[in-house]
Amino acid sequence: MKKKQTSKKYPTVKQLFLFTGFLVMLVSLSFGLYQTYAALTDSDQKQNEFRLGDFQTSIEEEFDPPMTFEPEKEYLKKVSIKNTGEQESFVRVLALPVLTKKQPNGSITLLPATIDGPAPILSIDYNLNDWIDGEDGYFYYKKKLTKGESTTNLFTKVKMNQANITEEYAGVLLTFEVKAEGISTTKFAYRDAWWGGEIPTVNPSLEIDDQLKNQTINE
């Protein structure tokens, strides 16, 4: 009984040519994408270096994190920003309170740390005379900072509200994540950086714009 032979099909010259052309196109496309990505990355780095070099700020804090964060007890926490760059700048700050608790198995649990609403977990004495709450996570300083000048404190005290917490908050630790941004006072760099070039029409952005627009300078 004869075994049935199977014939192998080999690609034709035309198929090999088309496949080779596809590989060349794929490599070229990949190289082009890489060049585009590298150019964008390089551009971003240069912009960041420019901003950091000319509009540099430093965060000045006075805070000694307690071993245990007890409710109804006020803790000293001072946050201000200093212009350490060479030019005048406008400043906004993101200061997020973080409450964590270590579990018996060694894992860390993140607990809600609300500061507003009907039952806030924390009370913080924000200085709304010199700062404006942008309601976007940031607080905006009302005045431009000259070289070497510091803002007033954004806040000075923080407290955990006993009436609004549960048993799971026993033994929690408090820290803060603080981010500061400095932007040129030239017209209207802050609008471009913070609002995509749009002129605000509603508060609180409108109030911030009203405070800053008359402090800008022409290039």
pLDDT digits (tens, 9 = 90+) for 19-47: 445 444 433 333 333 332 332 223 333 23
Q: Which of 24, 54, 84 is the last residue of a domain?
A: 54
Same domain, yes or no, for 18 and 69? no
User: Are 102 and 30 within one domain?
Assistant: no
With respect to residue 151, please indicate whether it lies within any of the assigned structural domains. yes
Instruction: Identify which of 7, 169, 39, 183 has the alpha carbon closest to the alpha carbon of residue 101.
Output: 169
Q: How far is it, in rounded angstroms, from Cα 71 to Cα 121?
A: 10
**Do residues 89 and 19 both lie within one domain?**
no
Among residues 163, 208, 170, 212, which one has the least CA distance to residue 187? 212
Q: What angle do CA 146, 147, 152 make, to 5 degrees?
A: 60
Q: Based on the fold, state whether residues 102 and 32 are members of the same structural domain.
A: no
Question: Does 41 share its domain with 94?
Answer: no
| Same domain, residue pair 72 and 46 | no
pLDDT for 63 equals 80
CA-CA distance, 22 to 13, in Å (whole number)? 14
Q: Is residue 88 part of a domain?
A: yes
Q: What is the pLDDT, as a whole number, of residue 50?
A: 28
- Cβ atoms within 10 A of the Cβ of 99, count? 20
Residue 24 placed within a domain: yes
Q: What is the pLDDT of residue 51?
A: 37
Question: Does residue 88 contact residue 145 with C-beta atoms inside 8 Å?
Answer: yes
C-alpha 58 chain-centroid distance: 15
115 plus 200 within the same structural domain = yes
Q: Which amino acid is at 182?
A: G
Same domain, 23 and 93: no
| Contact (CB, 8 A) for 178 and 93 | yes
Residue 65: which CATH number? Answer: 2.60.40
Dump the DSSP string for 137-182.
SEEEESS-B-TT-BPPPS--EEEE-GGG--GGGTT-EEEEEEEEEE
85 and 115 co-located in one domain: yes
If asked whether residues 182 and 152 sit together in one domain, one would say: yes
Query: Over the chain (219 residues), what is each successive 10-residue block's mean pLDDT?
Result: 47 48 40 32 30 66 82 94 93 94 94 95 97 96 96 96 96 92 94 95 98 93
Please tell me whether residues 40 and 83 are part of one structural domain: no
Q: Are residues 49 and 67 in the same domain?
A: no
Name the H helices within the chain: 13-54, 189-195, 205-212
Alpha carbon distance 178, 68 (integer Å): 21
Residue 75 lies in a domain: yes
**At which of 6, 37, 54 does a domain end?**
54
- Rg of the chain over CA atoms, in angstroms? 28
**CA distances in angstroms from 71 to 58, 99, 164, 189, listed in the order given:** 31, 12, 10, 43
Kindly report whether the global pTM for this prediction surpasses the value 0.75: no
Answer whether residue 3 is part of any domain. no
Residue 47's domain comprises 14-54
Assigned token pair, 4: 């049935």
What is the number of domains present in the chain? 2
